Amino acid sequence: MRASEGLRAVAAARSVASSLGLAADDAVVLQDSNKLTLRLTPCDVLARVAPEAEHVAPFEVELAQRLAATGSPVAALDPRVKPGVHERDGFAVTLWTYYEPVTPDAVAPPPDAYARALERLHHGMRTLDVAAPHFTDRVEEALRLLASHDRTPALSDEDRDLLGDTLRTLGRAVDERGGAAQQLLHGEPHPGNVLTTREGLLFIDLETCCRGPVEFDLAHAPEDVGQHYPGVDPGLLRDCRTLVLAMVTTWRWDRDDQLPDGHRLGVEWLAQLRAALDADQPDAASHRAG
């Protein structure tokens, strides 16, 4: 968030916590992107704050409760207050359990444990009847961003065409992959959305949930995680990885992107995308011929 908006978001979170009987004398920013994630002390609660116009907090709160009831590895809402979304000064605030880290942030979870936790999450998600967007809706969002030169002014025509062609081709290929079952997914289970806690690995940030093949979720995890997940289609996973790379690269060229160092990453990921497409050319030609 921008500095002025961030200050208001912190004040809104502290105000909500205090009104619910939780002492929130101080706030530490844990993550700052399109929403703010805070640790409020001394009550030790994790607050997530998003602009009201952009949030999907009711969906995330309901899904977290339903997944927790299945024993799925997800972060819990704070048990001291009634679950819900609290609106304050133009922000939507949700309150979650704060988990003390048991490893440094830079230490990634072991790939086998990561895969088992993601498999458990997918199993729990298969038991729920939840309306959620399809992964192709997110592909379309990226395509609309590319179509707007006003929103992506720094992107060259060549790079714009590369990203658009990749999104259209692989989005269709993944969706039409024969025999690939589709289900409710986390949507972005990358390492930044996995907590290593005393209770084991827990997934957070459920607002990105969508429907698609499990390989779409695995494409967000480190490559060696897929080697420990049972029943993976290697070709489908490879296509999903390239598709996801094209999506996240596109978002970095949004003029309103607030990810720290986003422009540098956009340039770096474009080079990675070209390398991935070049490496996949023989397989892609064979697939089209088949």
pLDDT category, 55, cuts 50, 70, 90?
low
pLDDT of residue 102: 87
pLDDT of residue 34: 76
What is the Cα–Cα distance from 249 to 246, expressed in whole angstroms?
A: 5
Rg (CA), the chain: 20
**Tokens linked to 235:** 């070709």
pLDDT of residue 108: 81
Average pLDDT of the chain is 92
Residues 50, 36, 259: CA angle, nearest 5 degrees: 105
Residue 101 neighbours by CB distance under 10 Å: 11
**Tokens linked to 68:** 């927790």
pLDDT > 90: percent of the chain: 81
- Cis peptide bond prior to 234, omega within 30° of 0: no
Judged by average pLDDT, the poorest of 55-59, 102-106, 157-161, 265-269 is: 102-106
pLDDT of residue 1: 67
- The stretch 138-152 carries a mean pLDDT of 97
Contact indicator for 115, 225 with CB cutoff of 8 Å: yes
**pLDDT tens, residue by residue, 5-39:** 889 999 999 999 999 999 999 999 998 877 899 99
pLDDT category, 284, cuts 50, 70, 90?
very low
- Is residue 106's pLDDT more than 80? no
What is the Cα–Cα distance from 53 to 49, expressed in whole angstroms?
A: 12
pLDDT > 70: percent of the chain: 94
Task: Write the single-letter amino acid at 219.
Answer: A
pLDDT category, 63, cuts 50, 70, 90?
very high
What is the Cα–Cα distance from 33 to 193, expressed in whole angstroms?
A: 13
- Is residue 69's pLDDT more than 60? yes
Distance of CA 231 to the CA centre of its chain: 23
- Is residue 77's pLDDT more than 70? yes
Q: Which residues pair with 39 in a beta bridge?
A: 28, 46
**Tokens linked to 168:** 């259209």
Residue 258 neighbours by CB distance under 10 Å: 12
pLDDT of residue 233: 95
| Count of residues making up the chain | 290
User: Which secondary structure element, helix H or strand E, spans residue 212, and what is its range?
Assistant: strand 210-212
**pLDDT tens, residue by residue, 212-232:** 999 999 999 999 999 999 999
Contact indicator for 94, 77 with CB cutoff of 8 Å: yes
pLDDT of residue 286: 37
What is the Cα–Cα distance from 168 to 4, expressed in whole angstroms?
A: 38
Dihedral of the alpha carbons of 162, 183, 125, 187, in degrees to the nearest 10: 10
DSSP-assigned states of every residue in 155-209:
S-HHHHHHHHHHHHHHHHHHHT-TT---EEE-S---GGGEEEETTEEEE--GGG-
Is residue 139 classed as helix, strand or coil in its secondary structure?
helix
Is residue 86 classed as helix, strand or coil in its secondary structure?
strand
Give residue for tokens 């444990």: 113
